[in-house]
Structure formats: structure tokens, C-alpha cells
Amino acid sequence: MSMLFISYFSIIIVLCFIQSSECVYNIDDSSGVGRRFDGIGGLSGGGATSRLLVNYPEPERSHILDYMFLPQFGASLHILKVEIGGDAQSTDGTESSHMHSPDDENYQRGYEWWLMKEAKKRNPSIKLYGLPWGFPGWIGNGNGSPYSNITMTVDYILRWMKGAQKYHGLYIDYIGIWNERIYNKGYIKLLKKTLNENGFDKTMLVASDNKWEISTDILQDTELAKAVDIIGIHYPGTKTTDDTLKTGKPIWSSEDYSTFNDEVGGGCWARILNQNYVNGNMTSTISWNLIASYYNALPYTRNGLMTANEPWSGHYDVDTPIWISAHTTQFTQPGWNYLKHGSGAGHLDKGGSYVAIVNGTQLTLIIETMSHDHSICIRPKLPAYNVTKQTATFHLKGTFSSIQSLNVWKSKFKYGGAKSEMFVQMQPVKVVNGAFTVNLELDEVYTLTTSTAGKKGKYDDPPPSSPFPVIYSDNFDDYDEFSEGSNFADQSGVFEIRQSNDADHGLVMRQVAASYPVIWCQDSNSPVSFIGNSSWKDVSMTVDAFLEKDDTGVMVGARATNGGCKIHKSHGVFFWILSNGTYLLTADINKLEIYTKGTVGVATNKWFNIGLVVKGRQATGFIDGKDIFTHSLYEDTVNGFLAIGTLTFAPSMFDNFNITATA
């Protein structure tokens, strides 16, 4: 018998045989193809999510990059989206701006340039996408908005794009507005006009990397419609809106996923990669984040396609989303087309979905049967639905009617301690009289394709996992200038390797953010960088420090908590030395809870050594080896990161950093 199946977009007539639980679906381009497929991507940044990756030893670092970017090996991503650093906290840390001040410009800072070049090295066709989260404080004349002077902000973004091209040979294919914050129509129009006038007419503008409201504005403003090339939405729940469809523009889920990368996270990724098109006509999905390469105790632990957050050990994990990505990416390319709903894309009658992506006679069909509880994403809430085992028969028509067989790749998620079977090559399926049948169980992903290119890449197992070393030191001499100190995770402000112009110190780590930024989330008023193991309790640390200006200070800390967007609420044990000769021991980064204070003989423009020992409920501070205080601590000050920092957004230098901790 036949039944009517109502999808989100159309009524699909599906033949379902009740006794055999078999349903029939057509794969047919006779009436033309659907929307252009724009690719699958990953997002580095928003913020500092790839921070620890650059510190990995070889060959592990290259292996990790291959799993993400090398075609026909792992995730084989089509798009790399990066944060345009703005000296501001943007989820898990800060990323350095190319312009800390109006008269400062440098294109060697940060690791996103390096990452984009490594991606291009492996896949020259990968597309690059830049988007700011925060901005240095001078943007917008210090009033907290990038739209106070849109000409200034447009010039700032243009310089970043020109710097990418001039110094790194990178052309930025897509550019965004301001991540998940209000958009300004005048800014969007001026940015597009400026790009076109400066050789970036092929760069496509994505807006607004937030919600759906811009669709309505596009329908009402023809100049805005000309400026916006792609509508980019975050965490759409696989749905779209009528106004967005009416624009006729490509629709992207330009940030999605953000889910712990276990089997459920892999199931989330499998479901939305298909259903973002099936339900929402979205032709690209980009994962936040690309790789979980930040400390586990920071927000959104392991929310990447894979995990690499132990450069000291070299250990990494190739997680399930890598292989779920491969089901689509290894057998398609941007510029192919989805087939239309009802003739190559839709819901399976007993739950799950299918999409066909084609290029002429080349066909790739991806099927997923992810159950509700095994595919829950972090956001939005997933409505209830059911999936049961089923048999699906696909009829190949039109251009595909002469296909004789299809290559098959399968992933089977397992739970309760059983090991999932990811991206396994199966025997080809024969197409008989233009049709083939697949028996589908729950929580499976299939790719059936004319392509012979797939490969499950594999390297020898990485070194075993191990905690951060309890004895650790860094004199900062073995770095390139403008890079970051290994394993330091800036949470407010920016700490870069710089020349000290002192023969006894050479290269040092220097706080260089010049002012409180245009924020994306709440920043600390005092720049701070974390390092170490967040479970540490008893520690000893020393570092040389140099105060460059009056009205500032430096800090060393232990048991520091609340990184990311809660950095302004960080508690711990913080020892401050101020340029006026005052010291403070505080229980919070805002210096509201003061244990003790006093005076000490330090001066600006002179190196001194600062030390802190925390053991049990007692802290002792030292200057140049001399005891300054010993003080008891609150009972709830238990464990956390080590920290260095400055009182204000002013330059100060650090050198010869040393840690001894009790595991």
C-alpha cells in the first residue's frame, strides 16, 4: 500500500510495504538538481580552541593535521573557519589581534595563520573563512562597539585580509560580521563595497553568524541583499524560516555541533549533517569547534571533532566526529549539488534521513538512522522522535539509471562500553534493475557512492596520556618572536614572546594588549594567563618580572578557577606586586577579597624575582628569595591552574618561569 509522508518542505509519496517493513525512495535528477553543496567545515577559535595544538611535538602534530585536513584520510574538511583575533576573551581564551593599537600592525602573531597554511598545504582547495569575536579596545574609539566608526572597523578587517594574502599567501574566501552579536546594516554594506574595491570581489560575505533576523532585513533592503552573499545561522536545530527561504540565498549552519565528542556527540554530528539540508535547506555545516586543543577544565570540554590537549605527552584522540565527517567529505566536493527533496533527500519512513549529493554521473548517498537519545546536541533542545530498524530500497533514475554498483562505507555506534565500528568499508552493493536495498539498524551511518576514493587513514597509536609535568620550566628563549609561550592559555589580555632588549634576558613573555577590548563576553580587568593542571593543590612557582610603567603591577597565582567567559569571577591565590611598592595577597582576580597587604622594595624598569608557595591552607610569598608573607587561606580554596598576569592592560615582562607541584 502507499501512504503520504509529509516532510518539512514537501509531500513525498513513498511506497511502504508493511509486512516487510520496506520503503522505496527515488534518487532522480530528471527534474534537475537541488541547491549547491558548499562543504563541511571546522572552526578554530571562538576562542583559543586550537591553542595547545601548535605546541605538539612531531610527528604527532602532523598526524593530527592530517586527520583533519588531508583529503581521503580522515575528516577531509572542505572549510576552515578561524577567529580574527581581537585581544578579547571569546570562550576558552583570547587570541591576539593583528593591531593591538592604531599604529601597531603585525601578521606573525597567533597560530591561526600557521593553521590555515597547514590546512592549505594538505588540501589546496580548502576554503578559508574569517570572523571576529572581539576587537581591540581602540576600535570604536573605546566605547565598546565596533560600529561607532564603521570606516575604522572595515579598514581593520581589510588589513587582516590583506595581511593574510601578502604575508602568508592566503586568500580569504568568506568573511563574517561579528560573531553572535548585533549586526549593523551600514557596516555590512560598507564592508562589501570596500572588499570589492580592494581586490576581494570573490570573497563572499556571510551574515550574520547569529539568528534569523537578517533574513527579514534582506527582503526589505535591496542594497543589503546585494551585500550579503550567504545567510549564516548558528545552532538552527536543522530548521529554517520562511523569510530565509524567500531570500533565495545560500543558507549555512555557520556554527553548529558544540557537543562532547563521544558516541552521542558523533551521533549529533551525523544527524545534523544530513538534516540541516533535509529540514533546513542548509548547504554547509561548520563545527564549533575544529579540535578540542585547550585544557579540559576550561569551558566546553572536548567539544571538537577530535581532541588534542596534551602537547607535553603527545597524546591525542581521533574521536567519532572525524569519521562521521568522512562519510560526506571524502566522497563529495563543494560545487556539487544536493538532489531535490523527494528525489534524493528526505526522511526515512521509520526514522532517520538520507541525502544524495551529485556531480554529473557521480553520486554519493548518505543515510543516517540516529536515535533520539544517541544524537542529542548541546543546543537547541531536540524534540522527541522514534527510529526503528527498517529496510530501504532506492531506485536510481535519470542520470543514475545505468549505475551497476555502489561502494559502501558504514559506521555503527555502540554504547555501554562496546566499541563503535567507525567508517568501515563494506562489500559493494549491486544495483539490479536500477534498484538496491539496504537493511538499516538503529544508530548507523551509511555512504553509498560511485567514488572509489575513500580511505580510513591510520597512524601508529600516539604516546599514552599523561598529566601536565609536576616539574616544569621555560626561559622563553627557543621561540619565534610574536608567538606564544608553550602551554600558556591566555584568559584575558595577550601574552606574546618579545625581545626584552636586555642581554641577560633575551626573549621574554610580555603582556601586549594595550587596552580593555571590545568584548564578546565579560573579560577580566586584569590580563591573566593560565598554565598547568587544574587539579593541582600544592605548588611552588617563581618567575622574573619587569614592570615597564607606573600605575601597573604583576601577579602570580595558584589554584585559579573559572577560565573562559567567567574569568572575571576567577578565585584562587593571587600574589600581586604593584609599581607603587605595594603587594597584595587576594582570593580573587578582582582584588576584592584581600588576605594581606604591605610594602615591598620593587621599582619599575628593573627585573625582580617573584615566588609563591601554596601548601594546604597556607601561602608564602617571596621577592628575590626573601619571605614577604605567610598567610592562611580559605577552606574552599582547593585546587586550580597556575597563573601569571598584570594589574592593567599595560606592558610587563616575564622570564625564567619555574613550577614544582605535588601530583
Give the active site residues: 180, 255
CA distance 644 to 628: 18
Residue 311 to residues 9, 371, 466, 467, 572, Cα–Cα distance (Å): 47, 36, 10, 10, 25
CA distance 354 to 395: 13
Query: Which residue type is seen at 219?
Result: L
CA distance 446 to 353: 11
Which residue is it, cell 538499516? Answer: 440
Classify the phi-psi angles of 46: left when phi > 0, otherwise alpha if psi is within -120 to 50, otherwise beta.
Answer: left
CA distance 167 to 154: 20
Q: From the CA atom positions of the chain, what is the Rg in Å?
A: 27
Determine phi and psi for 460, rounding to 5 degrees. -55, 150
Which letter does DSSP use for residue 273 in this model?
H
CA distance 204 to 187: 15
Asked if 209 and 176 count as a contact pair (C-beta separation under 8 A), the reply is: yes
Closest C-alpha among 21, 23, 35, 167 to residue 108? 167
3-state secondary structure of 339: coil
Residues 6+ apart with CB under 8 A from 19: none
Helices 150-168 + 185-197 axis angle, to 10: 40
Asked if 499 and 645 count as a contact pair (C-beta separation under 8 A), the reply is: no
Residues 6+ apart with CB under 8 A from 609: 542, 543, 544, 545, 622, 623, 624, 625, 656
123-161 b/e (C-beta count within 10 Å ≥ 16 → b): beebbbbbbbbbbbbbbbeeeebbbebbebbbbbbbebb
